[in-house]
Amino acid sequence: MAASGAPREHRVRVRGAHRPADGRRRTGRLTILGPVRIDLHTHSTASDGTDAPGEVVEAAAAAGLDVVALTDHDTTAGWAQATDAALRTGVALVRGAEISARSGGISVHVLSYLHDPAHAALLDELERTRDARTSRARRMVDLLGEDYPITWEDVLAQTAQGTTIGRPHIADALVAAGHVTDRSAAFATILAPGTPYYVPHYAPGAVAAVRGVRAAGGVPVFAHPGADGRGRVVADAVIEEMAEAGLAGLEVHHRDHDERQRARLDDLARTLGLFVTGSSDYHGAGKPNRLGENTTAPTVLEQIEELGQLDVIR
Ligand code: AMP
Ligand code: ZN
Ligand code: FE
Ligand code: FE
C-alpha cells in the first residue's frame, strides 16, 4: 500500500475541533473524511532534534498532521512535554523512542512504540547506551584535537540538560566554532564513519533490542533499514532474525531509501508478515526532513495501538 494516507474514510478519535477535509469544524469523536496524516518518527531536544518536545507536537499541528510519534534516541525524557502539547493542540501522540542497536558492526535503529517507560530492563539498557554515547562523544572531541579544536564545554553548550548526546551535538559545536557551515557539512566530512575522529559506541544487538522492546510491552519497528547512504545496511537474513524475535514492522518509506531499497523492503515485509510504515525522521532545523514528508497508513497505526502497552494520547 502507498505510504501516504489513502483517500478513504477513516475513523479516528480526536479531541476538540480538528481538521476535517470537508472544512467543517466538529468536536468530540468524529469521522474525518479524507486522508489521516500520520508521521511516526521525530526527534526533539531530548535527543538531537532542535525543537523542544512540545514544539515538535505544535509543529506537527501546524503541518496538518493528525498523529505524530515522538521517538528520541534512547530516551523517553520528552514524553511529558509532548503529552501536554498533544492535549493542547488536538494532535494525537504516539509515545516512542529510537533505540540504538548494532548488528555485525552495522548501526541499527529500532523504533519502539507505546512501551512501558518504567520497565527496568529496558531502562537499564537505555541508560547504558546513553552513558556510552557520552564517553564516545568526549573521545571524539579529544580526537578532533588540534585539527578541529572544540572543547567538551562547547558540546555541552549545544545540548539541553538530560539530552541523549550524539554526533549532531558535536556537529553543532563545530559549526559554532566556525569549522563547518552546518550539520550536514559536518556529517559529510569530519564526523563521517571512516574519518580518524569517528568512534562507535556501545549498543545492544539488534535481536536483543527487539526482544527488549517486546518485553517492555512496546512495538518494535526497524527504522530506515535500507539507508545505505549512511554506511552499510544489514542483509535480509538479519531482518529475518529480528522478525523471529518479535519485530513488528519495517520503516520502508523514509527519505534515505531509494526506489530500489523501498521495493526490496516492501517485498521483505510481505514475506515476513511485517507491517510497513513511512515517516519523516524530523529533527527540526537540524536536518532537511520535513514533518509529514512520508506517512503511515491508519490501519498500521491501529495494529501498533493494539500491540502496544500504552494508549495513543488523544
Ligand atoms: P550518532 O547516533 O551519534 O552516531 O548520530 C547519528 C545521528 O545523526 C542520527 O540521528 C542522524 O539523524 C543524524 N545525522 C546523520 N546524518 C546527518 C546529516 N547529514 N545531517 C544532520 N544529522 C545527521
Ligand atoms: Zn537523530
Ligand atoms: Fe535513526
Ligand atoms: Fe531518527
The CA distances from residue 152 to 134, 165, 173, 177, in Å, are 10, 12, 9, 12
Packing angle, helices 167-176 and 120-144, rounded to 10: 30
The mean pLDDT of the chain is 92
**Mean pLDDT along residues 121-145:** 98
Which of 183, 189, 191, 197 to mutate for ligand 1's pocket (most ligand atoms within 8 Å of CB)? 183
Per-residue pLDDT of 73-90, as tens digits, reads 999 999 999 999 999 999
Q: What ranges do the domains of the chain cover?
A: 9-126+201-307, 137-188
Please, is 228 exposed, middle or buried when counting C-beta atoms within 10 Å of its C-beta (0-12, 13-18, 19+)? Answer: middle
Ligand 4 centroid – CA 282 distance (Å): 7
**Mean pLDDT along residues 64-70:** 98
Strands 30-33 and 38-39: unpaired
Which of 48, 108, 174 to mutate for ligand 1's pocket (most ligand atoms within 8 Å of CB)? 48
Please tell me the predicted confidence (pLDDT) of residue 7: 41
pTM over 0.85? The answer is yes
Q: Which fold has domain 137-188?
A: DNA polymerase; domain 1 (1.10.150)
Q: In one letter, which amino acid is 86?
A: A
User: What is the C-alpha separation between 45 and 62, in angstroms, rounded?
Assistant: 19
User: What is the C-alpha separation between 51 and 70, in angstroms, rounded?
Assistant: 11
Residue ID of nearest Cα to ligand 1 atom 4: 167
Q: What percent of the chain has pLDDT over 90?
A: 87
Please tell me the predicted confidence (pLDDT) of residue 32: 56
Per-residue pLDDT of 140-198, as tens digits, reads 999 999 999 999 999 999 999 899 999 999 999 999 999 999 999 999 999 999 999 99
Please tell me the predicted confidence (pLDDT) of residue 31: 54
Q: Which fold has domain 9-126+201-307?
A: TIM Barrel (3.20.20)
